[in-house]
Amino acid sequence: MRRLVVAAALALPMLGQAAIAQETVKLGYIDPLSGGGASVGEGGLKTFQYLAEELNAKGGILGKKVEIVPLDNKTNPQESLIQAQKAIDAGVRYVTQGNGSAVGGALSDFVTKYNERNPGKEVLYYNYAAVDPILTNDKCSFWHFRWDANSDIKMEALTNYMKDQPAIKKVYLINQDYSFGQSVRTTARAMLAKKRSDIQIVGDELHPLLKITDFAPYVAKIKASGADTVVTGNWGQDIALLLKASADAGLKVNWYTYYAGGSGGPTAIKQTGLNHQVFQITEGFANVDHKESQDFEKAFRAKVDLSLWYPRAVNEMRMFAAAAEKAKSLEPIKVAQALEDMKFEVFNGGEGIMRKDDHQFFQPIYISSFGERSEKEPFDDEKTGWGWKLVAKVDTAQTMLPTTCKMDRP
């Protein structure tokens, strides 16, 4: 009898812990919180924490509080897998990551294999920024969902705009030397050749990811090439430092970028003095003429003291909640099935859809330029006084490229 009483006494705290755990929806945030990618990783963490608070203020997901679990991967694929296993061991069944397609590929493969070995304990991977097209093509997975437009979709839109700019004659490509950067350079070459065969590619440079502290030698090559335009997929410190070196060298060219609006980018653009000569392609930005997103931006900046880099993170978290409610379950397989072909009013306005065939989200995307603001652009960035201005909008239907995904379903 004494043994039974002792066993019951020991079990009570464990049952209490289990009950508490069941009251929480844990989302593992696997991104760089140290090293060269720390500035964007920290910004992303604050964004997801803010979004979790927004959901919790409305009752959480299916009545359960949302908790963001930060996990530092140092922008390293192997470290990411260690952190993913730690998350799973701590009861996490949803993970999110964005910075680095090499990491994204490793995580997608890890989660897929883990789920095959552990039926009933599946994990979902929510990708908010790793944009290598292969993740929703030949290496697609039922357990992976991407909310950012892939790099081919973005390059299609950028080059459609560039082909109508007669001043573009000589283009220099500079990108990070890993799967995403290699994809950007290859696709840019192919699409520009097809749409504007008169454009010369006068330089094509790959450099180590998040390792360069002084881009002056690279900028010297760009100047020497005679380029009038630079195309880059650089992100994090690699775009900020590249632009800073350009300012120091007095390089006066147009820039077509994926991530110039990230940490340090706007400050560096202002230093270059290139007023509306740096362009970015995104799924949204602060000065989109849309009241609800502008109200959110105002509240977000007041609380976090950052501009919202990731409208797609808002879509991800809100769709997560909507899918769980549709499925009436927090079982990952049921949430995944509810997300497939889900249509959703996106953060900056307009309809998006999560394509069932490959789990690629499609939404309106925008080309904007950074510089002096009019009354139509209420928000500046990084206290520079300059802000992003709409140049072109691409509707959802025009972003839908075909997929080669042949998805294995559970």
323: left (phi over 0), alpha (psi -120 to 50) or beta: alpha
- What pLDDT does 12 receive? 40
> How far is residue 410's CA from residue 407's CA, in Å, rounded to a whole number?
10
CATH 3.30.70.360 fits 2-149+293-362, yes or no: no
CATH 3.40.50.10610 fits 152-282, yes or no: no
Chain centroid to CA 64: 26
> How far is residue 381's CA from residue 261's CA, in Å, rounded to a whole number?
8
Same CATH topology for 2-149+293-362 and 152-282: the answer is: yes
Give the DSSP letter string of 125-140.
Answer: EEESS---GGGGTTT-
Sorted by where each begins, the domain ranges of the chain are 2-149+293-362, 152-282
- What pLDDT does 335 receive? 98
Taking the CA atoms of 260, 263, 268 and 270 in sequence, report the sign of the dihedral they define.
Answer: positive
| Contact between 381 and 307 (Cβ < 8 Å) | yes
Mean pLDDT by 10 residues, the chain (410 residues): 42 40 86 95 98 98 98 97 98 96 97 98 98 97 98 97 97 96 97 98 97 97 98 96 96 97 96 96 98 98 96 98 98 98 98 98 98 97 98 97 97
